[in-house]
């Protein structure tokens, strides 16, 4: 280990320069800037999708049509909300984390295919624009699942065609990115880092990428058939001409169920990093958590038809119920492993940790309702109702979005060289957690009592559920802006982070923040165990990093940021 | 390298004592049992009434899921909250936690126990599923005979057809069509379902069963209504006698004073009150108007539940619902069934009266999409039918139709040919002159056309510009001439 000394916390300025807006907005092959491009783009679409969600909740305040002129307009609201949130927010956001972190965690200088990496990103903005252009030609209104014949013979506006083309492009981007991740992870690990010593985030990205490469071509196939039916005069989905509408459901869900894991496995990787680091304790059952990611990814390919319990041949329903239930086992292993991780540790309730704990407590509810849904007789009651809407928001928001926030709070210092304000983080967490819970919990009951999903006009008996949900949703919407404010202001006024503010052992912290374009000044030596907290060797390793790259700017006694104070006498 | 300042690690993990394990276990069990009791005793009703055998079976499974699920909930949330409380780093404590990497025994436990639980759940689910699908008696028994019931889904309505197996006076099969599903406690119901357009999903929340209706396939739906020990809120009103039964509407600004239920017409209404003698009953009609009616007109009592569409089917998806009426007994069901059968056995010669019967009985699912105030229709996804007779007459010339009547007929047989201004596309399926699905007999076509020709803006049929002549009494001047004229028009649309 080198022994260059750097003055303790160079107050006021991070050691390296943050890339300017001009550098972020142009073509580059630097994986870190591409990672930022992904994250910023995804967050913009998160705001767009969130705005649509707010309009949905406003419309649902009363059982009649209010702000929407007719049912079709409402249908395109939730169609685009769902599509944007899944394909333009969750997937690109995790691709952003993957791009930024995987090479750093592996001690590499870049991804295996830097040009391909940039190309995969630059497909996304035009695809997003293409989808939003649908508003000019008559937006898609068949839901994010776009079941034919509603999406073919009965959607005459061209928005549906643009929708399919946009998803096609996003699928290409996804596949290219995934191939890049697999090659990078399998080939570019530093000396001494076997697969079993790899950070769990890399394991999660590996499992996700394998799923993407296996599943996404099926989405492409389904979309091609849909496009041919819409513009090519074929009749794959036209029963009157010998087509079959269930063909779409089977092929679409053969992608889209694994896609659920594509959207949550990287979040689970983030969670492993955050929980271990912020409770200062090794991951409990590292191998089991790594293997359960793989198990979820693989078993995830055998469960697609549980989305079709009310349309599938009856005799096929039971096998898919069984395979779906089996997924609960590896998921349970993860949850208990994480509980084991924080048990007995030294828990620090930072913003990252709060969102990680929030993930645990909300995701488990999504898991419980998932097992409920897998039971065919109960699914008959709640299939395509608000119960399902609640279930997948507990998984996709309570799980994935919470983990994205945890990741943003955890790695913001690495990305920018500055710390986020922890007081605002606590406010952000409190409002998001409560807003989220009271938005989606009442939906379970509305669904069980008989409210189908995707309706603008509903039975007045469900109004009280919907009013609670809408008000909580508005709180949830507002809470996002606390984070945006924090992220923007901290860029200029945040405490200087130093290289390793959380004293974490993975390699991305063994270089200045933000890392220089070449990532590491010299070949980094990974610590023998990425989660080996609580040993003298780990402490020595972390102390050495602090000595080389400096420590975070100290907090002032009032908790604010020390401004203009003289540098303490370092070495 | 001086690291003594941080060299104060605890090297042993905190292992809870037996007291904690028992206490925490008890907390989880008590919490789970509490949730189970709240839900299974329906103290907190989270599911609708149990109107079928299927709902009882499914609910028992659900209660078990609540028990297991809330145990997991309390276990995880409890451990989470306790850990945060117990293991939160104290201020200025910079030490790390113990270097513990796992525990094989624990990991095996939390793999094996969930596996066993889901295995048991899987077996129970299959058992409930088999029970729910079991055929307990002959299908759809009415007077000891099976009457096939067919459901047709279309945007945005459900249509129910009872293949009665009877013949009318013209020796045609009587098909009892309606916009509501009637059944009775103890009947073993089997529905066959088709769709005219997109995928729909037939769901009765109170029955706990849902089945998609898929283009190109016929799907099946089974359920067994059961006694619930709940008051029967709804009654079947049946018009009796030559002059029918009179409903006396309670005064309100925009309602007529009386409403005549013609002989063998049926009407479902909510029972509100009975007078002291019991001879009169106050009822609430579907459009919320209150009326008094002789109790003798009540043919039976029943429960009412919503049937909804659960699969996105387009702009009117939320408005696509129908009612399920579960009659108290087979006799109550038969009062409805027989009255309708009797009405259908002798079709009226007057096409206007036939059209009125066809439209009010819900034989065609117009009401879900169209508004026609005289019949109480309140649909909003299709063009408004108030004053249709005037508009049809006005548009006839421009559209090349012979007359307003021709325009209406054309719009029923080939709705996609005319787009009403402001409408974005014809969603109405064509009503065909032959075939099984969406069949509309020539008589019905003529009847509906004749009835719609009376719907002028002024309310006086004499003002119509459809091509039919009405007298001062509001009836056709010459029924036979009108029929001949309308038959001539209808012939154009035969295949």
Map A235-292 to HEC letters: CCCCHHHCCCHHHHHHHHHHHHHHHHHHCCHHHHHHHHHHHHHHCCCCCCCHHHHHHH
Mean pLDDT, rounded, of chain B? 88
Chain segment B30-76, per-residue pLDDT in tens: 999 999 999 999 888 899 999 999 999 999 999 999 999 999 999 99
SS3 A230: helix
Q: What is the model's pLDDT at position A560?
A: 45
Higher pLDDT: A247 or B414? It is: A247
CB-facing half-sphere around the CA of A555: CA atoms within 13 A: 11
Residue A537 corresponds to which tokens in the numbers above?
């060797």
- Angle separating helix axes B479-491 and B442-453, nearest 10 degrees: 120
Which H/E stretch holds residue B478?
none
Which H/E stretch holds residue B263?
none
Select from B57, B101, B309 the Cβ nearest to the Cβ of A452: B309
Res. B92: pLDDT tops 90:
no
Provide mean pLDDT across the span A311-333.
93
Residue B294 and residue B237: Cα distance in Å, rounded? 10
Q: Which of A68, A138, A375 to substitute to test the interface with B, most B CBs within 10 Å?
A: A375
Q: What is the model's pLDDT at position A539?
A: 92
Q: What is the model's pLDDT at position A11?
A: 47
Residue B71 and residue A365: Cα distance in Å, rounded? 11
pLDDT band at A13 (very low <50, low <70, confident <90, very high): low
Provide mean pLDDT across the span A425-441.
97
φ and ψ of A563, to 5 deg: -115, 130
Q: What is the C-alpha radius of gyration for chain B, rounded to an integer number of angstroms?
A: 31
Residue A170 corresponds to which tokens in the numbers above?
């996003």
Res. A567: pLDDT tops 50:
no
Q: How many CB atoms lie within 10 A of CB B13?
A: 17
Mark B166-202 as b/e (b = at least 16 C-beta within 10 Å).
eeeeeeeebbbbbbbbbbbbbbbbbbebbbbbbbbbb
Res. B10: pLDDT tops 50:
yes
Residue B199 and residue B195: Cα distance in Å, rounded? 7
Provide mean pLDDT across the span A352-376.
95
A156–B contact, CB cutoff 8 A: yes
A336–B contact, CB cutoff 8 A: yes
Q: What is the pTM of this model?
A: 0.92
Q: What is the model's pLDDT at position B423?
A: 59
Q: Which residues of B touch A544 (CB under 8 A)?
A: 1
Provide mean pLDDT across the span A538-561.
78
pLDDT band at B391 (very low <50, low <70, confident <90, very high): confident
Q: Name, in order, each residue with C-beta under 8 angstroms of B239's C-beta and a sequence gap of 6 or more.
A: B245, B260, B261, B262, B263, B264, B265, B266, B297, B339
Cβ atoms of A315 and B67 closer than 8 Å = no
Q: State the DSSP string of A345-362.
A: S-B---HHHHHHHHHHHH
Q: What is the model's pLDDT at position A557?
A: 52
B435–A contact, CB cutoff 8 A: no
Q: Which residues of B touch A533 (CB under 8 A)?
A: 96-97, 99
Q: What is the model's pLDDT at position B256?
A: 57
Residue B64 corresponds to which tokens in the numbers above?
């078990």
Residue A424 corresponds to which tokens in the numbers above?
């605002």
DSSP state of A319: H
Q: Which residues of B touch A449 (CB under 8 A)?
A: 46-48, 205
Residue B440 and residue B433: Cα distance in Å, rounded? 6
B16–A contact, CB cutoff 8 A: no
Res. A402: pLDDT tops 70:
yes
Chain segment B437-456, per-residue pLDDT in tens: 788 888 889 999 989 988 88
Flag if A245 and B212 touch (Cβ within 8 Å).
no
The region of weakest confidence among A17-26, A165-174, A463-472, B44-53 is: A17-26
Select from B9, B80, B198 the Cβ nearest to the Cβ of A361: B80
Cα–chain center distance at A323:
25
φ and ψ of B273, to 5 deg: -160, 165
ipTM field: 0.91
Residue B374 and residue B377: Cα distance in Å, rounded? 8
Question: Is the preceding peptide bond at B460 cis, omega within 30 degrees of 0?
Answer: no
Res. A245: pLDDT tops 90:
yes
Task: Please report, for residues A372, A480, B425, the alpha-carbon distance to residue A485 in angstroms, rounded to integers and kept in the order given.
Answer: 39, 9, 46
Residue B446 and residue B466: Cα distance in Å, rounded? 13
What is the chain A residue with the closest CA to B68? A368
SS3 B221: strand
Chain segment B414-444, per-residue pLDDT in tens: 887 777 765 556 678 888 888 777 888 888 8
């Amino acid at each position: 280990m080198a022994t260059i000394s750097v003055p303790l916390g160079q107050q006021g300025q991070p050691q390296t320069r943050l890339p300017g807006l001009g550098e972020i907005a142009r073509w580059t092959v630097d994986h870190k800037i591409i990672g930022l491009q992904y994250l910023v783009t995804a967050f913009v679409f998160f705001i767009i999708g969130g705005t649509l969600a707010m309009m949905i909740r406003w419309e649902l305040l009363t059982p009649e049509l209010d702000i929407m002129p007719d049912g079709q307009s409402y249908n395109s609201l939730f169609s685009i909300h769902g599509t944007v949130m899944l394909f333009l927010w969750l997937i690109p956001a995790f691709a952003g984390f993957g791009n930024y972190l995987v090479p750093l965690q592996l001690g590499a200088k870049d991804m295996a295919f830097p040009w391909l990496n940039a190309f995969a990103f630059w497909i996304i903005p035009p695809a997003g624009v293409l989808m939003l252009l649908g508003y000019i030609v008559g937006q898609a209104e068949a839901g994010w699942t776009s079941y034919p014949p509603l999406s073919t013979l009965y959607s005459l506006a061209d928005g549906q065609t643009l929708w399919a083309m946009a998803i096609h492009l996003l699928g290409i981007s996804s596949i290219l990115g995934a191939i890049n991740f697999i090659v990078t992870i399998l080939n570019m690990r530093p000396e001494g880092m076997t697969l079993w010593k790899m950070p769990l985030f890399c394991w999660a990205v590996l499992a996700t990428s394998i799923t993407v490469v296996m599943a996404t071509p099926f989405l492409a196939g389904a979309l091609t058939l849909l496009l041919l039916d819409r513009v090519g005069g074929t009749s794959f989905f036209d029963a009157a001409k010998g087509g079959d509408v269930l063909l779409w459901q089977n092929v679409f869900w053969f992608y889209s169920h694994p896609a659920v894991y594509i959207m949550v496995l990287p979040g689970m990787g983030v969670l492993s990093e955050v929980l271990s680091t912020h409770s200062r304790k090794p991951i409990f059952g590292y191998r089991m958590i790594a293997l359960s990611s793989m198990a979820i990814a693989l078993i995830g390919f055998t469960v697609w038809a549980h989305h079709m319990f009310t349309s599938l041949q009856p005799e096929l329903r039971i096998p898919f119920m069984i395979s779906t239930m089996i997924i609960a086992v590896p998921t349970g292993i993860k949850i208990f492993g994480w509980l084991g991780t924080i048990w007995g540790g030294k828990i620090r309730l930072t913003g990252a940790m709060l969102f990680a704990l929030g993930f645990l407590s909300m995701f488990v509810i999504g898991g419980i309702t998932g097992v409920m849904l897998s039971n065919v007789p109960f699914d008959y009651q709640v299939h395509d109702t608000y119960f399902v809407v609640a279930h997948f928001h507990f998984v996709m928001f309570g799980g994935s979005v919470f983990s994205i926030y945890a990741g943003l709070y955890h790695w913001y210092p690495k990305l920018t060289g500055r710390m986020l304000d922890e007081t605002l983080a606590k406010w952000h967490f409190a409002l998001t957690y409560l807003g989220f819970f009271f938005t989606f919990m009442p939906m379970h009951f509305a669904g069980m009592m008989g409210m189908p999903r995707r309706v603008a006009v509903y039975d007045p008996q469900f109004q009280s559920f919907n009013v609670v949900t809408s008000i909580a949703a508005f709180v949830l919407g507002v809470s996002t802006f606390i984070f945006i404010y924090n992220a923007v202001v901290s860029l200029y006024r945040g405490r200087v982070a130093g290289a390793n503010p959380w004293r974490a052992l993975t390699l991305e912290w063994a270089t200045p923040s933000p890392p220089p374009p070449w990532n590491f000044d010299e070949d980094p030596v990974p610590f023998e165990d990425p989660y080996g907290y609580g040993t003298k060797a780990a402490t020595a390793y972390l102390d050495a990093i602090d000595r080389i790259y400096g420590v975070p700017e100290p907090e002032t006694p009032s908790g604010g940021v020390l401004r203009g104070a003289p540098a303490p006498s370092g070495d | 390298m001086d690291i003594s300042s941080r060299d104060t690690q605890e090297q042993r993990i905190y292992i809870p004592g037996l007291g904690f394990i028992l206490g925490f276990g008890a907390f989880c069990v008590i919490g789970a049992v509490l949730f189970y009791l709240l839900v299974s005793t329906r103290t907190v009703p989270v599911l609708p009434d149990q109107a079928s055998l299927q709902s009882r079976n499914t609910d028992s499974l659900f209660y078990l899921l609540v028990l297991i699920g809330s145990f997991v909930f309390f276990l995880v949330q409890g451990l989470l909250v306790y850990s945060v409380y117990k293991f939160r780093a104290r201020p200025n404590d910079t030490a790390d936690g113990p270097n513990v990497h796992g525990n094989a025994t624990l990991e095996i436990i939390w793999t094996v126990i969930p596996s066993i639980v889901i295995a048991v759940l899987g077996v129970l689910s299959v058992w409930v599923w088999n029970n729910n699908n079991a055929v307990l008696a002959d299908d759809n028994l009415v007077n000891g005979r099976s009457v096939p019931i067919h459901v047709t889904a279309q945007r945005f309505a459900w249509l129910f057809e009872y293949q009665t197996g009877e013949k009318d006076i013209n020796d045609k099969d009587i098909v009892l069509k309606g916009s509501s599903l009637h059944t009775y406690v103890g009947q073993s119901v089997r529905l066959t379902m088709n769709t005219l357009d997109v995928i729909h999903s037939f769901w009765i929340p109170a029955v706990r069963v849902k089945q998609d209706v898929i283009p190109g396939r016929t799907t099946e739906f089974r359920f067994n209504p059961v006694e619930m020990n709940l008051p029967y809120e709804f009654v079947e009103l049946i018009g009796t006698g030559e002059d029918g039964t009179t409903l006396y509407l309670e005064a309100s600004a925009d309602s007529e004073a009386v409403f005549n239920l013609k002989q063998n017409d049926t009407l479902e209404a909510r029972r509100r009150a009975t007078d002291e003698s019991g001879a009169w009953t106050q009822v609430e009609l579907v459009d919320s108007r209150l009326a008094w009616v002789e109790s003798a007109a009540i043919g039976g009592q029943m429960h009412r539940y919503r049937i909804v569409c659960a699969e996105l089917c387009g702009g009117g998806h939320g408005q696509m619902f129908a009612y399920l009426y579960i009659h108290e007994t087979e006799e109550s069901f038969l009062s409805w069934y027989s009255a309708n059968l009797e009405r259908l056995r002798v079709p009226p010669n007057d096409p206007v009266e036939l059209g009125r019967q066809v439209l009010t009985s819900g034989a065609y699912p117009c009401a879900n999409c169209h508004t026609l105030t005289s019949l109480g229709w309140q649909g909003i996804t299709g063009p408004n039918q108030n004053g249709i007779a005037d508009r049809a007459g006005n548009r006839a010339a421009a559209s090349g139709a012979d007359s307003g009547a021709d325009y209406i007929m054309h719009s029923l047989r080939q709705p996609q040919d005319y787009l009403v201004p402001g409408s974005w596309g014809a969603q109405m399926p064509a009503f065909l002159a032959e075939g099984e699905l969406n069949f509309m007999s020539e008589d019905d076509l003529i009847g509906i056309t004749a009835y719609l020709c009376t719907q002028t803006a002024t309310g006086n049929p004499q003002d119509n510009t459809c091509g039919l002549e009405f007298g001062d009494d509001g009836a056709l001047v010459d029924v036979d001439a009108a029929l001949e004229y309308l038959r001539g028009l209808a012939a154009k649309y035969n295949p």
